[in-house]
Structure 1
Amino acid sequence: MKYRAEIDGLRALAVVPVILFHAGFDLFSGGFVGVDVFFVISGYLITTILISDIEKNKFSLINFYERRARRILPVLFFVMLACLPFAWFLMVPSQMEDFSQSLIAVSLFASNFLFWSESDYFAPAAEEKPLLHTWSLAVEEQYYFLFPIFLLLTWRYGRNRVFWLIAFLSLASLALSEWSWRNSPTANFYLAPTRAWELLAGSMSAFIVQKVGINKNNTLSFIGLFAILLTIFFYDKNTPFPSLYALPTVVGVVLIILFADKHTAVAKLLSTRVIVGIGLISYSAYLWHQPLFAFARIHAQESPSPTYMLILSAVSMGLAVLSWKFIETPFRDRALVSKKMVLYIAPVFLFFPLSLGLVGHAKNGFEGSLLTANQRSLLDTAINSPKRDDCHASKRDYFGYDDACEYFEGELKVAVFGDSHTVELAYALAKELAPTQQRLKHLSFSNCIPSYGILIDGYEDCSSWTNDAIGRLIDEDSIETVVVSYRINEALFGGHEATFPTLPSNRSKPEIEKIWQAYMDVLKALDENGKNVILVMQAPELKEPIERLIKRDQVSNGDLSGISKEWWLNRNQYVRSRISEIPKSIAIVDPTRLFCDETQCYAAKNGVAYYFDDDHMSIAGATVVAKRVVEKMGD
């Protein structure tokens, strides 16, 4: 295959925005499309090689996979190896267990399935996964495994028919992605069936170039470059992706492949020495950047500064140069590393991290080694509700009022209503009410902001569930008391995890007002229809998950500070300033009064954890609040 310097330039255009996007630079808000650029390039290059080998009757699956192993495995193995000491010293057991699972998944080229099951790619928690970025390698490897077999099976029908079959599959994949972003957005992002059309677009480009060559066209190649840049700078994490929105990126790459002849201005730009140099090290740079960023975020109690992240971006490039020179290049040299050696070494590159991952998973993230006895003892109290999996509704696991859980025996008199912050409260309150033979109904919906009587974009399921649940509570005469609890500060302003210690401000003033009024409407609707309403205010948020606080602290006296009271009062200032709007007939329980002294809000007291993460109360913390709720019920 004839070398095209502009393709390496395209790789640079892919990797730099991805790195700067993951570093948190808002200018590159759509930098994640760099992965899509890589997909199209991969489809083009691999198909070009396959067509050439098949037509020359020298194609071999073993040789193909051997070339892929030379390209992919050595640096991937070394990066995973380099992650191990940082994971050991910086991670808490739950993170180490997740990391161990990712080692397993990466070794099996199935990490896209793992991360699909774990988290949203754009969620703050995902930023602390060192191997998150390997999801795209998994998609490519799945393509590399299946596509050569597909070509071998279909080539007998003729080149044109194969091309049109690929076109049909590409359109079907695009249609699936357009459906999936509306119905299963996380699966849509991570899984190969909804990404295949991007790789297949590259494959179709290979067919065209192989048949008619590269047609010089400055205008079309410039449009291609402009389309890619447009998506890099104007898309963001709220853009449905992949979907029809990915077309400008994909078509942009295709236009450059087809029309950026070496004499065009775009090809000359992409072929400049520096850009090509970045393209040559792009694979290594892509592998290095995410572990560096993830471990930096894990280590820091505050969000790393832009300057620090820019330095780490440069470090990833420096490491990429070294790994390209001393690992990638030697392993791709058949004079230094024979085919036989690759076939012997490749299983080791996969089996070693796979084995470590299996051990780490089996040992629960090496909990016994990473924490002292005192730390383990305290962590053992940081538990959530045993009913969380079965009784907490969500967009993925939607169920309504009739299917909601009820605890325990007796007459149904009490309901707890709200978002995920009500789960442990409901269970703890039910335990407190059990001796009085009062049964409790648990109504909670994950990531559900106040939305009674309104419809908020992105929260349609939440709004529907809220309206139904409130209506049914009003009609349920046996329920006398309704306890309401929301993570109201996140609903109004966004989560603090990605910005701490800076306070988040993710919504406009009209949006904030709309949500606040919906919050008031929830309370007033219940109050005005004869319910005894008790509002449990949001518990103070911690500066980081309690497991990390425990690991950083020797926990000698059983008390563990979670956040300064000053920070929490500032975070909660808007709510405090409008609390007078709550009807006087509604009782208020404020965990701040229970968990904080004059200067600190505690994550644990007297050897008992009040939280199981950075904002949800544990059963023990919820019990402290539930006891106060019971007192209010008796007033």
Structure 2
Amino acid sequence: MRAIAVIPVILFHAGFSTFSGGFVGVDVFFVISGYLITSIILAELEQGTFSIVNFYERRARRILPALFTVMFVSLPFAWMWLFPSDMKDFSQSLVSVSLFASNVLFWLESGYFETAAELKPLLHTWSLGVEEQYYILFPLFLMLVWRFRNRWILGAIIAIGVISLGVAQYASSNYPSANFYLLPTRAWELMIGGGLAFVIKYGNSHVGSIINSKLIKETFGLLGLLLIGYAVLAYDKETPFPSVYALVPTLGTALVILFATTETSAGRLLANKPLVFVGLISYSAYLWHQPLFAFARHHNSSGVNEEIWTLLIVTTFIFAFVSWRFIEKPFRNKHQTSRSQAFSLALIFSVLFIVVGIGGHVTSGFLYRLNDDQNAILAFANYDKSPVYREGSCFLKPEQDYAEFAEWCEDDSASDASILLWGDSHAAALSYGLRAQHGNVTQFTASGCPPIKGFDNYTRVHCKGVNEYVLERISHIKPEYIFLHANWLYAKEYAEVIELDKTLSVISSVSPQSKIYVVGGVPQWQPSLPVRVLRAGMDLSSGNILKMDRGVEEEIVSMDALIGSQLVGTDAVFLSAIDEFCNENGCLAVVKDNEEFTLIAWDYGHLTAAGSELMAKGLIEHLKQ
């Protein structure tokens, strides 16, 4: 079962679209963990041999040696390949992992403009944080309620699970980041495993005849595997998670544990030697894959091809075998490593990582590693976008709804023909340039909300209401010009079909005299433009042309073509942002602004003030034609 859990996770993080729901492997792990830990604790409580110290020792021996090895090996690569902002994030994660709180850190870092998840080498340790917090609390809970015995303990487990699932369902729509990372909304998955352990140990007299039915075992064992497989193949980034959707893989896991014995087809499949071997090394494989993938993405800014991905996956399992054989096994053997040695090493490495982590935090990612010119470029990572984008007033944050648009977002100046700008954070970036080049610009922009009627994204719960509000304001204002702009690639992630033509039809019906311009996506850089400029050996006073990653460029051009095709038969005009910034040699990366050179974007594609003005000049020219 551990193999069934870890393989989809690795393939998902490697970007294989077939395994779009591979993240559910973590949920399978949670059920397995809940089952195994509860089984062990119940057996020892029954025998009167349970010791909280012994329990924590076993968990430390199981978790820490391989984890600390991966963290220690990651340090030199982080030093060589991570620029200060990413190094600061990595340093903070060293501290949080050592304190069993990495899930809390990554929740706090989960804002829209934060580093992409796939670039964080220790991001996957969030699940260990959840488990470690569970390991601290759950044994104490069982010890406290043990005197009430079977029926009441199972009832308490069920109650905790139901409450946790209810909270997760609510939070999946209202607090998606906290819902994903934190223990209260994950506890029910562990409780499924815990309740299952309780039923298997004490419920034989009631359910034994059902469980021991050969037909039942065969049917439900296979059903469990099918449920897990369905979630792996059918779920994707748009699936609210965890929520009731997570019942599919978690209950599937429970069915497999309960029914897939060696007498069944599912049991025989899971008992084959290759899967058993992968299961043995699954913990180490899980630990190694994310740092390998993240550092590969950092080191290969132009993209990681399929051959490299294959090599990385093979390397993951090689490293996993080595660390299982020479790290995990010896430290789990009390005859090879004593309790005092295990705790001493754990303490030494914890202190080491905390000291290094604090050092990385207070020095802003060991900023002194770079020279002044390099630091000037990387300073864009801390670009103050709020006044440029008018964040919180005309550019709504994820938690804000349309009622929080400021009144002055609607410009009623009579000096120029009225322009209404509608879109997401990329449109907010464009707003500065339009305001600088033209009076009378109304700005309605919201984080993660492309200008598409009916657009629904569970991570941006206010998008639908915001877009309905903008359409209502368009019918009232009836502006001369309307600009629709967004990161259309982001929109495509959450909408299988971008039905822009329907949006245009509504605009034309409520404001028929308005001239509509749909602006294509701006250049995008992986992992960010400042990093790409540095890796190209450029500075702020030299060459200003840089090639986008070919894959990203092809995606943007393809999306532009798709958008253009939806404008056929309408009065709307498509304007290419790529044409404003790029030619056959590459795209503008550095531009002159008030006698100084500056980058056109401060992250992967959000424009700086100078970049926004440059783009707006070209767009305003089209109004004069």
> Hey, what's the Cα distance between the residues in 2 that align with 1:91 and 1:191?
27
Residue 529 (structure 2) aligns with: 546
Q: Which amino acid aligns with 2:234?
A: F
Residue 463 (structure 1) aligns with: 464
Report the CA distance shift for 1:536/1:242 in structure 2 as closer, same or farther (over 3 A): closer
Report the CA distance shift for 1:103/1:525 in structure 2 as closer, same or farther (over 3 A): farther
Q: Does 1:71 align with 2:70?
A: no
Q: CA deviation at 1:166?
A: 0.7
Residue 287 (structure 1) aligns with: 287
> Does the 8 A contact of 1:374 with 1:554 survive in 2?
no
Residue 581 (structure 2) aligns with: 595
Deviates more, 1:175-184 or 1:423-432: 423-432
Structure 2: gaps spanning 5 or more residues: none
Q: Deviations over 1:486-543 (max 9, x none)?
A: 126436755xxxxxxxxxxx976xx34x2144257547855626xx877765433346
> Hey, what's the Cα distance between the residues in 2 that align with 1:474 and 1:16?
52
> Does the 8 A contact of 2:530 with 2:599 survive in 1?
no
Report the CA distance shift for 1:154/1:612 in structure 2 as closer, same or farther (over 3 A): same
Residue 501 (structure 1) aligns with: none
Q: Which amino acid aligns with 1:546?
A: L
Q: CA deviation at 1:48?
A: 1.5
Residue 142 (structure 1) aligns with: 133
Q: Does 1:19 align with 2:19?
A: no
Report the CA distance shift for 1:520/1:558 in structure 2 as closer, same or farther (over 3 A): farther
Q: CA deviation at 1:145?
A: 0.9
Report the CA distance shift for 1:398/1:285 in structure 2 as closer, same or farther (over 3 A): same
Counterparts of residues 278-427 of structure 1 (less than 5 Å) = 278-369=278-369, 371-380=370-379, 383-387=383-387, 388=389, 389-391=391-393, 392-400=395-403, 402-403=405-406, 406=409, 416-427=421-432
Q: Is the partner of 2:74 in helix, strand or coil? A: helix
> Does the 8 A contact of 1:289 with 1:316 survive in 2?
yes
Q: Which amino acid aligns with 1:236?
A: D
> Does the 8 A contact of 1:421 with 1:485 survive in 2?
no
> Does the 8 A contact of 1:492 with 1:515 survive in 2?
no
Q: Is the partner of 1:612 in helix, strand or coil? A: coil
Q: Is the partner of 2:449 in helix, strand or coil? A: coil
Q: CA deviation at 1:287?
A: 0.4
Give aligned-pair identity as a percent. Answer: 37
Q: CA deviation at 1:592?
A: 4.5
Report the CA distance shift for 1:280/1:425 in structure 2 as closer, same or farther (over 3 A): same
Q: Is the partner of 2:588 in helix, strand or coil? A: strand
Residue 192 (structure 1) aligns with: 183
Report the CA distance shift for 1:540/1:522 in structure 2 as closer, same or farther (over 3 A): farther
Q: Deviations over 1:535-582 (max 9, x none)?
A: 765433346511221221222543333336985666634556777877
Report the CA distance shift for 1:83/1:482 in structure 2 as closer, same or farther (over 3 A): farther
Q: Which amino acid aligns with 1:76?
A: L
Structure 1: gaps spanning 5 or more residues: 1-9, 495-505
> Hey, what's the Cα distance between the residues in 1 that align with 2:299 and 2:405?
45
Counterparts of residues 126-141 of structure 1 (less than 5 Å) = 126-141=117-132
Q: Which amino acid aligns with 2:503?
A: A
> Does the 8 A contact of 2:485 with 2:521 survive in 1?
yes
Q: Does 1:59 align with 2:58?
A: no
> Hey, what's the Cα distance between the residues in 1 that align with 2:232 and 2:557?
38
Q: Does 1:528 align with 2:513?
A: yes
Q: Deviations over 1:28-82 (max 9, x none)?
A: 3332222122111111111112112223333222221121111111111110111
Report the CA distance shift for 1:25/1:569 in structure 2 as closer, same or farther (over 3 A): closer
Q: Is the partner of 1:400 in helix, strand or coil? A: helix
One of 563, 572, 576 as aligned partner of 2:560: 572
Counterparts of residues 216-235 of structure 1 (less than 5 Å) = 216=212, 217=214, 218-219=217-218, 220-235=220-235
> Hey, what's the Cα distance between the residues in 2 that align with 1:168 and 1:559?
63
Residue 607 (structure 2) aligns with: 617
Q: Which amino acid aligns with 1:549?
A: R
Q: Is the partner of 2:537 in helix, strand or coil? A: coil
Counterparts of residues 25-104 of structure 1 (less than 5 Å) = 25-104=16-95
> Hey, what's the Cα distance between the residues in 2 that align with 1:283 and 1:598?
47
One of 150, 155, 165 as aligned partner of 1:174: 165
Q: Deviations over 1:87-146 (max 9, x none)?
A: 22222322222222222222222222222333499x992222211211111111111111
> Hey, what's the Cα distance between the residues in 1 that align with 2:155 and 2:12?
36
Q: Deviations over 1:288-335 (max 9, x none)?
A: 111111222222234423343222112111111110111111111112
Q: CA deviation at 1:168?
A: 1.5
> Hey, what's the Cα distance between the residues in 1 that align with 2:355 and 2:81?
21
Q: Deviations over 1:467-489 (max 9, x none)?
A: 31342355359xx7766241264
Q: Deviations over 1:588-627 (max 9, x none)?
A: 9765455335532211135311111222111221133445
Q: Is the partner of 1:141 in helix, strand or coil? A: helix
Q: Which amino acid aligns with 2:522?
A: A
Report the CA distance shift for 1:120/1:237 in structure 2 as closer, same or farther (over 3 A): farther
> Does the 8 A contact of 2:522 with 2:577 survive in 1?
yes
> Does the 8 A contact of 1:70 with 1:332 survive in 2?
yes
The total of aligned residue pairs comes to 599
> Does the 8 A contact of 1:375 with 1:555 survive in 2?
no
Report the CA distance shift for 1:114/1:559 in structure 2 as closer, same or farther (over 3 A): same
Q: CA deviation at 1:16?
A: 1.6
> Hey, what's the Cα distance between the residues in 2 that align with 1:347 and 1:354?
10
Q: Which amino acid aligns with 1:444?
A: T
Residue 238 (structure 2) aligns with: 238
Deviates more, 1:616-625 or 1:409-418: 409-418
Deviates more, 1:424-433 or 1:236-245: 424-433
TM-score scaled by length of structure 2: 0.85
Q: CA RMSD in A?
A: 3.6
TM-score scaled by length of structure 1: 0.83
Q: Which amino acid aligns with 1:609?
A: L
Q: Is the partner of 2:587 in helix, strand or coil? A: strand
> Hey, what's the Cα distance between the residues in 2 that align with 1:316 and 1:89?
21
> Hey, what's the Cα distance between the residues in 2 that align with 1:404 and 1:85?
52
> Does the 8 A contact of 2:174 with 2:461 survive in 1?
no
> Hey, what's the Cα distance between the residues in 1 that align with 2:570 and 2:263?
70
Q: Which amino acid aligns with 1:315?
A: T
Deviates more, 1:161-170 or 1:413-422: 413-422
Q: CA deviation at 1:154?
A: 1.3
> Hey, what's the Cα distance between the residues in 2 that align with 1:311 and 1:194?
36
Deviates more, 1:483-492 or 1:75-84: 483-492
Q: Is the partner of 1:572 in helix, strand or coil? A: helix
Q: Does 1:558 align with 2:563?
A: no
Q: Is the partner of 1:605 in helix, strand or coil? A: strand
> Does the 8 A contact of 2:9 with 2:23 survive in 1?
yes
